[in-house]
Amino acid sequence: MSQQLLMCQGINKTYIDGDNEVEVLTQLDMSLSSHELLAVTGRSGSGKSTLLHILGTLDNPTKGTVLFNGQDIHGFTGAKQAEFRNRHLGFIYQFHHLLAEFSALENVMMPLLIAGIGSAKAKQRALALIGQVGLKDRAQHKPSQLSGGERQRIAIARALVNRPSLVLADEPTGNLDSENSQSIFDLLKELRDEQGTSFVVVTHDLQLASRLDRVVNLTAGKINPVATLIGV
Ligand SMILES: Nc1ncnc2c1ncn2[C@@H]1O[C@H](COP(=O)(O)OP(=O)(O)OP(=O)(O)O)[C@@H](O)[C@H]1O
Ligand SMILES: [Mg+2]
């Protein structure tokens, strides 16, 4: 039986926009087991990126708590949150944030170097992941020399390289063709099976979503279950 990894209780997120208050998340409850691959769907503007940022301590909820292994991550100091993100989290952003002046390889090595891993070992691990996302012959290229989809795959390798226990992925295959999207989803499943990684994956691709363990929909600020087509 899997353990609970994440537990969100009563999450509210309100943005103040001039004189208007916009409530994006409303009393949202959600949980994620360890080893679980969860797909989050929802229309544009429904709050999916907002939710991922809150789960990853990049933003604070207006109300409510997020427990990671029972710990209230928004109660951590800034330094402890940074350490938490480096040790436990991998982010795949909706718009990749690769560092322009570094090569693909150096971008992927970065989280390992920050975590204090020696450069020879960091290079070996980074190259292995770059191979897994199918870009072995692009390792020395700078982001500007890569296509949008290739950049996205390098950003995915970077998010996974320090073997996080939780990966938050915001439309990880948004820029990819269906063959590459399939292989990224295969890679996520492989990591779950081999390393027990848990994933929250925001996606608009319902067919790919249905290949994950559970699919939910974010509507009216809340998480709602969606019947999956697994095995059908
Ligand atoms: N900093 C902000 N200030 C004010 N409003 C914001 C801010 N960030 C997001 N919003 C609003 O919150 C809502 C949810 O935004 P969010 O980016 O979470 O949506 P999303 O579900 O990720 O959409 P998409 O599928 O287009 O990426 C939107 O209406 C957006 O305009
Ligand atoms: Mg978004």
Express each pLDDT in 159-208 by its tens digit: 999 999 999 999 998 888 888 888 888 889 988 998 889 999 999 988 88
Residue of 12, 19, 49 to mutate, ligand 1, most atoms within 8 A of C-beta: 49
pLDDT band at 2 (very low <50, low <70, confident <90, very high): low
pLDDT digits (tens, 9 = 90+) for 30-67: 999 999 999 999 999 999 999 999 999 999 999 999 99
Q: How far is the CA of 44 from the centre of ligand 1 (A)?
A: 8
Ligand 1, residues at Cβ distance < 6 Å: 15, 17, 22, 24, 42, 44-50, 94
CB 26 within 8 Å of CB 78: no
Pairing between β-strand 166-170 and β-strand 89-92 as defined by DSSP bridges: parallel
Q: How far is the CA of 225 from the centre of ligand 1 (A)?
A: 21
CB 129 within 8 Å of CB 160: yes
Give the whole-angstrom CA distance, residue 70 versus residue 139: 39
The domains located in the chain, with CATH, are 33-58+77-226 (3.40.50.300)
Ligand nearest to the CA of 47: 1
The residues near 212 (Cβ < 8 Å, ≥ 6 apart) are 37, 38, 39, 185, 199, 201, 228
Pairing between β-strand 37-41 and β-strand 20-33 as defined by DSSP bridges: unpaired
Q: How far is the CA of 98 from the centre of ligand 2 (A)?
A: 18
pLDDT given for residue 231 in this prediction: 42
CB 11 within 8 Å of CB 54: yes
pLDDT band at 3 (very low <50, low <70, confident <90, very high): confident
Q: Which residues lie at CB < 5 A from ion ligand 2?
A: 49, 94
**Protein residue with least CA distance to atom 9, ligand 1:** 50
Task: Please give the average per-residue pLDDT across 200-219, as a whole number.
Answer: 93
Q: Helix crossing, 148-160 with 119-132: angle to 10°?
A: 130
Instruction: Answer whether residue 1 shows pLDDT above 60.
Output: no
Q: How far is the CA of 23 from the centre of ligand 1 (A)?
A: 10
- Residue with token string 């099976």: 193
Give the whole-angstrom CA distance, residue 129 versus residue 142: 17
DSSP state letters, 161-186: TT--SEEEEESTTTTS-HHHHHHHHH
Reading the block at residue 61, the tokens are: 């909820």
Instruction: Answer whether residue 232 shows pLDDT above 50.
Output: no
Ligand nearest to the CA of 44: 1
- Residue with token string 């779950």: 192
Reported as type and span, the H/E element at residue 27 is strand 20-33
**Protein residue with least CA distance to atom 26, ligand 1:** 44
Task: Please give the average per-residue pLDDT across 209-221, as a whole number.
Answer: 94
Q: How far is the CA of 46 from the centre of ligand 1 (A)?
A: 7
pLDDT band at 228 (very low <50, low <70, confident <90, very high): low
pLDDT digits (tens, 9 = 90+) for 65-108: 999 999 999 999 999 999 999 889 999 987 778 999 999 999 99
**Protein residue with least CA distance to atom 13, ligand 1:** 45
- Residue with token string 């789960």: 55
pLDDT given for residue 194 in this prediction: 87
What DSSP state is assigned to residue 73?
G
**Amino acid occupying residue 43:** R
